[in-house]
Structure 1
């Protein structure tokens, strides 16, 4: 057994081919090869989507060499521009591009199921505890939250180093972070991301300069026409038109001769027609579910849960940190889950590895506790309801991406989307900092600035990860221990 595990580890670390009993190698069986490269991610990916993106870059770009930095930055911007779980879409798309659709779906379950099952177990346990937790438990949870904030802040800095390529992208990162801190609404984050894309598109395509030059040429032409001899125009009235046509033809030929960059994927996915059909089918399904949500609301808790999760998974942009306030509105406001259970679960789930969208599994199991639907069914309904929209959209876009990415305007827009999304990561750091502290009196979450010790924990996890190579799991554990030390010194 130990020898087999060692051989699998050699496959991942050194790229060796592990021989199977039938004479084949793991590298020739896509599913086993996918497992060898991805099985551990659902257990070690602490810190939320911002940390996940940095981890994926180190793994898929620097270690496995499945794609280069440019392609990774494009996919990052693409995943931020689509609704749904950002880091989960990234892992899914990379594995689909490398192995194909079936292994991509399997990679999604390998990534999400471990902590989804743990979240379901947490909900079962939360249902059985008393309303009031012992004080050391609150201190431990606050320590976990503080360490998580430090990890996310470090990931934001590391991501910004890749996103900032010039003065414009630096400005977009700053403005995205500042604007995200000042206001919070469902429509706001998508607008910020779109504005970032428009800014780099206008810059890279020099739209403002072209418009200014075209206006200047038009004014100059009008001035010349006013001063030109009418008799000369009569001799050759078509000359200006012919000159313009020649210039347009020359520019068109130059654009056509410019070679387009081919996709970095080694696998042929779907045609653009198939991708368009997949996207169209999603929007039809969304319209049907929302119509049924309006007609059959409050008749069946299980359907209401799925419809709310499906809606949340469709309209969430920005990944895990954005899903938290939206789920609070859709789950706590109707009275399905108490505010205490919501914040208690949030504090614990943030310390879990894997996608933050697994928080929906925890809420789904609690949301059906006063109905005829079993808790396990509620967890499964919430899992598929929150994840399916984003994965469906990502699958459809993969079909048309190989054609769309050749357009210079699209590539320019993704540069701005990437920068704006990184700016919103700094926004997530601020918002997590403001709800990280918990105790018996502050059940809705308070700022970690309530005591300097929590800020010290934030700084410890940040500096430890940046300069001392402390891993996210170790930083999370250290934060919990420091939380208990604070309780022993200050409150005991």
Structure 2
């Protein structure tokens, strides 16, 4: 009887292959989280067939549900599916390394040359940051707050943050946003249905990782306060930021500003200039942490400070992705969770609106010339559709020449 040939089972990539694939993406993925997800879909769904469109969409939904940088979390989840925890680490390292190294180098340059608000090119970076966040705010308003109930949530969130600009207020805004989303569920659009399983790992791993996440989130600040140790303070502060920022991308701005500027670790001028420079590099925007760790007025700074800050801000994503993926099937079936997430996303728009006003506009816009400069940069981004890295380069050069 002739043998029947069966299609060969797809071979899983090695950890090195996962690293190499994500390193190439980390060198070429410009445009922010939404653009990153487009690159990921092209690479892993269409080109490599690691997973189906339905499974990819569910992973994206899961990462929107969790705090942290969504595109990096999708990369971690994909690496976890293909190569376990080692694959997740390889995926994150490859995707994060290029932008983290570039921003660390920029921090060393700024620290060495004593950058101040009087440096024209730095002021140009500050102004382009205003334009980039304005563009992001408009896009998020259209997608995350497209109707009156969610606009109302965003407006109230903005008012609270402008009145009480503290990390505790931000957490309160997110909780209130979730509650408002649930209470207004009758006026919000119906959510999509069930799709295929995406889980990776078992429930034992899930419980351990979620438990470790909670332990570090609650225990690190107390330990840092008792010890008075700056590296521990740095790690605890950036871990908290990575644990509490919903929406990823530009929404990290207000929490990071609260962490590094009031204690005088980083000057306001260097903070905004570094944020402008972060728009010119590929990869996740959360690697802005590398610049802040490198340019810190405390020790260790430089490469060591950058490494501590980057590891700390991304560690919550590792713990949550590994912990939540096996449980996602049950969570997404709960309508209450989905409507709460819609409220959280609307509150995120309000957080970004508050951050757009302060510290960005307050610190960067000094007069009519600055407003005109920022409007031209915004027109280059939205009307001319130039890539952000090119607009950043043009703005730095123009700032050097004219300020």
Q: Same fold (TM over 0.5)?
A: yes
Structure 2 counterpart of 1:400, from 322, 327, 339: 327
8 Å CA contact 2:107, 2:295 repeated in 1:
yes
Residue in 2 that maps onto 1:390: 317
Structure 2 counterpart of 1:125, from 106, 109, 134: 109
Structure 2 counterpart of 1:361, from 281, 290, 293: 290
Structure 2 counterpart of 1:289, from 195, 199, 220: 220
Alignment TM-score, normalising by the size of structure 1: 0.65
The answer to whether the aligner puts 1:42 opposite 2:53 as a matched pair is no
- Secondary structure at the aligned position of 2:265 is classed as coil
Q: 1:415 to 1:111 in 2, by over 3 A?
A: farther
Shift of 1:395: 1.4
Q: What whole-Å deviation, never above 9, does each CA across 1:226-254 have from its counterpart, x for those lacking one?
A: xxxxxxxxxxxxxxxxxxxxxxxxxxxxx
Q: 1:285 to 1:446 in 2, by over 3 A?
A: same
Aligned-partner Cα distance in 1 for 2:394–2:114: 24
Residue in 1 that maps onto 2:129: 145
Aligned-partner Cα distance in 1 for 2:158–2:35: 20
Aligned-partner Cα distance in 1 for 2:212–2:116: 47
Residue in 2 that maps onto 1:112: 96
Shift of 1:434: 6.4
8 Å CA contact 2:26, 2:283 repeated in 1:
yes
Q: What whole-Å deviation, never above 9, does each CA across 1:88-144 have from its counterpart, x for those lacking one?
A: 223322443455433222111111111111121112111111444666414642564
Residue in 2 that maps onto 1:68: 53
Residue in 2 that maps onto 1:227: none
Residues 272-421 of structure 1 aligned to structure 2 (within 5 Å): 272-296=203-227, 298=228, 300-367=229-296, 370-371=298-299, 373=300, 375-405=302-332, 407=333, 409-410=334-335, 413-414=337-338, 417-418=341-342, 420-421=344-345
8 Å CA contact 1:320, 1:356 repeated in 2:
yes
Q: 1:421 to 1:273 in 2, by over 3 A?
A: same
The answer to whether the aligner puts 1:178 opposite 2:155 as a matched pair is yes
The answer to whether the aligner puts 1:460 opposite 2:380 as a matched pair is yes
- Secondary structure at the aligned position of 1:335 is classed as coil
8 Å CA contact 1:35, 1:107 repeated in 2:
yes
- Secondary structure at the aligned position of 2:263 is classed as coil
Alignment TM-score, normalising by the size of structure 2: 0.77
Q: 1:261 to 1:427 in 2, by over 3 A?
A: closer
Aligned-partner Cα distance in 2 for 1:149–1:291: 33
8 Å CA contact 2:124, 2:397 repeated in 1:
yes
- Secondary structure at the aligned position of 1:362 is classed as helix
Aligned-partner Cα distance in 2 for 1:281–1:274: 10
Aligned-partner Cα distance in 2 for 1:353–1:138: 20
Q: 1:430 to 1:197 in 2, by over 3 A?
A: closer
Shift of 1:307: 2.1
Q: Work out the number of aligned pairs and report it.
A: 385
Residue in 2 that maps onto 1:216: none
Structure 1 counterpart of 2:390, from 466, 477, 486: 477
Q: 1:333 to 1:355 in 2, by over 3 A?
A: same
8 Å CA contact 1:61, 1:68 repeated in 2:
yes
Q: 1:427 to 1:382 in 2, by over 3 A?
A: closer
